Structure 1
Amino acid sequence: MKNYFSSDFKLGVLGGGQLGRMLLAETQKFDIHTSILDNNVNAPCAEICNTFVVGNLLDFDAVYNFGKTVDVLTIEIENVNLDALDKLEEEGLAIYPKPKDLRVIQSKARQKNFYFDNKIPTAPFSHFAYLEELVLCIENNIIDFPFVWKAARFGYDGNGVKIVRNFADLESLPNVECITEQLIPFKNELAVIVAKNADGETTTYPVVEMEFHPEANQVEYVICPARIKESVAKKAREVALKVVEKLDFIGLLAVEMFQTATNEILVNEVAPRPHNSGHYSIEASYTNQFEQHLRSILNLPLGNTESKVAGIMVNLVGEEGFSGDVLYQNIEEILKIDGVTPHIYGKKETRPFRKMGHVTIVNADVEKARATAQKVKETIRVISK
C-alpha cells in the first residue's frame, strides 16, 4: 500500500469551498499534503492548504495542468471540466469519483435517465432542451400543472429548482435545458451517504431526515437518526446501495430521497462528495464523512459509520436583508448550551441565504437535540456589519 502519510504524496482537490475546508481538517490530521484549485483567491481553503492554485474549474488547461502536479485527484464540487479529467485518467492519474460518474451526475437529465434505465425508483419526469419546448407541451396539455422544474446543469443549494403551479411561475425561469418532475406528496426527505473503496468495501451511514427552508429550498436541519420505521430505513439504504452498485462508484456518494405517503423510497438526486446531510458526523459519528471520503478515495480500510450520539445539524445562512462583511451575532449565547459546536466556513461576505457555516447539536436523545437545534436557530444571526 502506498504511503500517504508524512510523505511526498500529493492529494489534489478541485474546489476550495467549505467542503474542502472541512476535508483539510482530516488531511492535516493524517499529514497528507493537499493541493487545492479554485478560482477565488479568497476561497475558504486558500490560507490553510499546503498548496493553493488559482484557476477556473471549468477551464480545460487549468484543470489539466493542476492534475499533472498531484498523485490522486478528487473534488468538492462536481461542476468541473470533464474533458480534462478524461485526459488525465487516460494518462494514468487516479481520479475519484471517476469522470464517467461525474458525467452522469453533472446533468440532472442524465441522472434521471440513469435511474430509469437501471430500475432505480424516482419521480416520473420529462426532459426539455429549452424552456419554449416545455411551454409548448403545457399549451398542448401534454404536461399539467403543478410540477417541479429543474435546470439540467449548475443547480446548487436550492438554486435551479422551482415548483411551477401556473403560467406566471414560468416567467422567471431561464431558457435552458431542463427537466420537469411530477410533484410527489411525501412524508419525509431522507438521505443516505454510502462510501466505497477500490477494493469494493462498502458501508452506509445511518439514514438522516432533512427539513427544508420553504422559501430558499435549502436544508435547515439534518436529523440523525431519521425518525422513521426501521423497515423504511432498510429500504432507503438498499436503494442507495443500488445506485452505488449501478454506477460502479468509488468514493463518497450522498443519495437524497423522498419517503412517499405509502412509504415508497424515490431517489431525488445524488452528490458525489461529502455533503450537507453528513456534517453532523463530525461530532456525532465514530468516523466523520470527510475522513471516510479520504479512506475511500485512497483505498484505505473504511471506518465505523455508526453514531456515538444523536446529531442534528443547523445550517447557518445569510439573513435576508443583509449583504456585505459578515457578523455572527449571539455565538456566545449558543456556546453556553451543552452539546453545541459551531463551524464557521471562513467566507468574509454574507448575502441572503448564502451558506456561511453550520452548528452541530449532539445529545443521547434525538428529540432533545432537535429542541436545542430550534433554540440555536432562533438565537444565532448571520448579518452584516
Structure 2
Amino acid sequence: MKQTQFSSGFTLGILGGGQLGKMMLYTTRKWDINTYVMDKDDTAPAFQGCDVYFEGDIMDYESVMEFGEQVDVLTVEIENVNVQALQDLEDKGIAVSPSAKVLNLIRNKARQKSFYLDKSIATAAFEVYSQPNLEHQRNYPFIWKSAEGGYDGKGVKVIRQASDLEDLPQVECIYEDMVDFDLELAVIVARNANGEMKTYPVVEMEFHPEANQVEYVICPARINMDISDRARELALEVSEAYEHVGLLAVEMFLTKSGELLVNEVAPRPHNSGHHTIEGSITDQFEQHVRSVCNLPLGATDSTVASVMVNLVGEEGHTGNVIYDGIEDILAMPGVTPHIYGKKETRPFRKMGHVTIVADDIVAARELAEVVKGKIRVIAE
C-alpha cells in the first residue's frame, strides 16, 4: 500500500518560523499533514499553527540534525540555514527540498552569479571580491552586494563615488553594473521530484525608493505577450539549471533594449507570490507543499487581477505594533489583509501584506494606492 502524507504518521519539517512558514501551514492544516517547525525565536509566527515546534538555531549543525532526523521531508522558509547539516541529512535518506547543493549555490550571491555565467544565463556584469576593494575597474555608479546574509534591501548599496566603499563590511562581496531597466519582473517556478514543472504568470515589482524593498507586486505584469513568454521560458531555464525541488522565485530585469537579465533567485515561497493566495487557482504556499512532498502540481492560472502591498513598519516607530487604519481597509471590497503575527514593529520590518483584487489590473493598482494611504504600521 502506498504511503500517504494525509492524516498519517508522515511528517513535514520546516526550518524557520517566519511568515513564510506560517503561510505554508495554511495548506498543511487544510490537508492534515503533520508539520514540525524549528526557530530560535519563541514568538515565531509559524509556531501558532504547527503540530510541534522546536526552539533551536537553524544555523546550528547539531540542532538541524536532531530536528531533521525526526521528519520525512525537510524544507526551508529562509536560505540562512546550516547547509552541511542538510547535506548529512540527505546522506541519511531524508528528503531535503531544496537540496543542500541548491542552497549552497543560491545563498551566496557570488556563487549564484558565477553559476549563471557557467550556464550561459544572462545576468548583469559583475566582479567578485573577498572584501570591498578600492582598486576596481567599474564605472560609477555601480551596485555593491554582500555575498551572504543580505535580504529585504540589506546588504545592498549603490556606490556613487569611491568614499561610498570606505565603511562597508569587510566581507566577500560583488560589484555589479547598474542595469538600465524598464521594469523589475519575477516568475515563480514550481518543480517536484518527478520533474513536473509549472510557472506562474509574470509579475511586476515596484520598489520603495528608500528601503529597497518591494512595495507593490502587480499581476499580471503590464507587459506584452512576447516578453511574458520569454520571461517564463527564462525562469524555466534557470529552474532546469538548478534542478531544484520546491518553488524557485526568479527575479529579473527588463532592460530598455528589451533584454531579460536574471537578477537573483529564492528557492522557497517569495514575496512576489503572496498575491496568489487570493489571485490564483493554487497559491504559492500550497504549491510549495505539493512540490516538496512530490504531489501533483496545481494549476497556476490567475483567477483575477491582483496587487500585493507590503505592510512594513513606519519610520520612527519601534515597539508593540498597531495597525492603524486596518478597519478602514477591511470595509473595502476586494481587499484582504494578512497579518504575520510579529508583536513588535521597527522601521521597514515586514509585518504583513494586503492583497487587492479587481476585474482589471488598472483598477486593482488604483485601489492599492488608496489602501497604501489608509493603513500604517506604527508602535504604541
- TM-score between the two structures when normalised by the length of structure 2: 0.99
Q: Among residues 208, 216, 225, which one is paired with 2:220 in the alignment? A: 225
Which amino acid in 2 is paired with 1:373?
A: A
Q: Show CA shifts across 1:173-228 (max 9, x none).
A: 21110001100010000000000111111100000000000010000000000000
Secondary structure (helix, strand or coil) at the match of 2:32 reads: coil
Structure 1: which 4+ aligned runs deviate by more than 2 Å? none
Q: CA deviation at 1:249?
A: 1.3
Which amino acid in 2 is paired with 1:244?
A: S
Secondary structure (helix, strand or coil) at the match of 2:282 reads: coil
- 2:200 aligned with 1:205: yes
Distance 1:346 1:145 in 2: 42
- 2:286 aligned with 1:286: no
Q: Which has the larger displacement, 158-167 or 353-362?
A: 158-167
Distance 1:144 1:369 in 2: 40
Match of 2:95 in 1: 94
Q: CA deviation at 1:171?
A: 3.1
Match of 1:46 in 2: 47
Distance 1:123 1:5 in 2: 44
Secondary structure (helix, strand or coil) at the match of 1:282 reads: helix
Distance 1:383 1:34 in 2: 33
Distance 1:277 1:157 in 2: 12
Which amino acid in 1 is paired with 2:168?
A: L
Distance 1:336 1:238 in 2: 40
Q: Show CA shifts across 1:8-49 (max 9, x none).
A: 111000000000010011110001011001010111112321
Match of 2:18 in 1: 17
Contact 2:281 2:303 in 1 (8 A): yes
Distance 2:362 2:163 in 1: 41
- 2:327 aligned with 1:328: no
Match of 1:2 in 2: 3
Match of 1:72 in 2: 73
Q: CA deviation at 1:167?
A: 2.1
Secondary structure (helix, strand or coil) at the match of 2:134 reads: helix
Match of 2:265 in 1: 270
Q: Show CA shifts across 1:41-84 (max 9, x none).
A: 11111232111101111110000110011110000001100111
1:31-180 matches, within 5 Å, as 31-131=32-132, 134-137=133-136, 142-180=137-175
Contact 2:138 2:177 in 1 (8 A): no
Secondary structure (helix, strand or coil) at the match of 1:314 reads: strand
Match of 1:354 in 2: 349
Q: Show CA shifts across 1:260-294 (max 9, x none).
A: 00110000000000000000000010000000001
- 2:286 aligned with 1:307: no
CA RMSD in angstroms, aligned pairs only: 0.7
- TM-score between the two structures when normalised by the length of structure 1: 0.97
Secondary structure (helix, strand or coil) at the match of 2:45 reads: coil
Distance 1:55 1:250 in 2: 25
Match of 2:336 in 1: 341
Q: CA deviation at 1:157?
A: 0.5
Match of 1:298 in 2: 293
- 2:249 aligned with 1:254: yes
Secondary structure (helix, strand or coil) at the match of 2:135 reads: helix
Q: Which has the larger displacement, 169-178 or 358-367?
A: 169-178
**Is there any run of 5+ residues in structure 2 with no aligned partner, and where?**
none
Match of 2:30 in 1: 29
Distance 1:22 1:3 in 2: 22
Distance 1:379 1:2 in 2: 49
Match of 2:379 in 1: 384
Distance 1:302 1:91 in 2: 27
Contact 2:275 2:308 in 1 (8 A): yes
Q: Show CA shifts across 1:134-166 (max 9, x none).
A: 2122xxxx2221101100001011100111101
Secondary structure (helix, strand or coil) at the match of 1:159 reads: coil
Distance 1:144 1:339 in 2: 46
**Is there any run of 5+ residues in structure 1 with no aligned partner, and where?**
none
Distance 1:248 1:50 in 2: 30
Distance 1:200 1:81 in 2: 26
Secondary structure (helix, strand or coil) at the match of 1:135 reads: coil
Distance 1:318 1:90 in 2: 42
Distance 2:260 2:38 in 1: 37
Q: CA deviation at 1:364?
A: 1.3
Secondary structure (helix, strand or coil) at the match of 1:286 reads: coil
Distance 1:47 1:172 in 2: 40
Distance 2:341 2:68 in 1: 26
Which amino acid in 1 is paired with 2:264?
A: E
Q: CA deviation at 1:172?
A: 3.5
